[in-house]
Amino acid sequence: MKLSHNRAVLLMVAVTLMWSIAGVVTRHLEHAQKFEVTFWRSLFTALCLLLLLPLLQGRVVFARMRHGGTALWVSGLCWCGMFTFFMLAIMLTTVANVLVTMSLTPLLTALAARLFIGHRIPARTWLAIAVAGFGIAYMYASQLGQGMSLAGTLVALCVPISGAANWTVTQHSHAQGHDVDLIPAVLIGATLSALITLPLAWPFQASAHDLGLLAGLGLVQLAIPCTLAVVCTKVLKAPEVALLGLLEVIFGILLAWFGAGEVPGHDVFVGGALVIGALVANEIVAWRGRA
């Protein structure tokens, strides 16, 4: 698929909209519980990718996966963490909490790249990390002061940690001359997530209504947008992808608000504004510097 820049931008916006539906959809489940929700979404994602991958890359893709190297499987393990922790967090706390916490991924990636592969962090990124860290700390402290459980928020924090590990591994592999094919890595992650959560999901309680919604998440919220996002990254620059990716936070909060009546608290607005503002400022300065 060859895209112009403008079409890649529009497609990336559509991708973030598809990513953002997880919260509002899970709020309309009838009987499925935490681990079962995670299991079914991961299973349906894996099944959809098993159909999509041969169409996109030919059947030889499965042979290439067997020789993909350590980085491919480590990336798959990181995707597994992202998928599993995300759905558990969505079932434990508000959609806004999860999405704002997830948006830390680019900054945690910068820290991980500095610690493990020696990438230099510009002063603007250190400032962004400090401001975003303060925003998250404010959000968590306010919730703790209100007597709310932090379990869901702490689980949500594992999502950007897994994401940072994933991008650090793929960056290191690229520097060594071995690019990781991200779509097969997503398939590995979804499969591992389904296998890990299967024993914890039993006995199944999901209704036919729940299974329909979770199948939709597997296809529309993960398999299709993850595939399209990889296509977009071949056209768009990294800062553009990072900025457009933040739309998932905005779309997700609005969908949960209007589609499920989940109104964000004042702490989420303040903390989220600090985190998103720091990310946007950092990426815009980086973009102008490269230009």
3-state secondary structure of 31: coil
**DSSP H helical segments within the chain, as ranges?**
5-19, 22-26, 34-57, 60-66, 69-92, 95-102, 105-117, 123-145, 151-175, 182-201, 208-216, 224-233, 238-245, 247-260, 266-290
Neighbours of 146 (CB within 10 A): 9
Q: Which two tokens stand for residue 44?
A: 């349906």
- Residue 1 pLDDT > 80: no
Q: Which of 84-98, 136-150, 260-274 has the lowest mean pLDDT?
A: 136-150
pLDDT at position 144 is 72
Return the pLDDT at 89.
93
pTM of the model: 0.87
pLDDT tens digits, one per residue of 34-55: 899 999 999 999 999 999 888 8
Predicted confidence (pLDDT) at residue 164 exceeds the cutoff of 80: yes
Query: From CA 1, how far away is CA 4, in angstroms rounded?
Result: 10
Per-residue pLDDT at 175:
76
| Percent with pLDDT over 70 in the chain | 96
CA atoms within 13 A on the CB side of 112: 19
The Cα–Cα gap between 179 and 93 comes to 36
Contact indicator for 279, 246 with CB cutoff of 8 Å: yes
Digit-coded pLDDT (tens) for 171-212: 888 777 777 778 888 999 999 999 999 999 988 999 999 999
Could you state, in order of their start, the residue ranges of all structural domains in the chain? 5-290
The pair of three-digit structure tokens given for residue 168, joined into one six-digit string: 């650090």
Nearest to 214 by CA among 105, 83, 65: 83
Indicate whether 83 pLDDT > 90. yes
Residues 65, 69, 75, 76: is their CA dihedral positive or negative? positive
- How confident is the model over 93-151, as pLDDT tens digits? 889 889 988 888 888 888 888 888 877 878 888 888 888 888 888 887 877 766 666 78
Q: How confident is the model at residue 14 (pLDDT cuts 50, 70, 90)?
A: very high
Centre a 10 Å sphere on the Cβ of residue 176 and count the other Cβ atoms it contains: 10
Look at residue 148 in the predicted model and tell me its pLDDT: 65
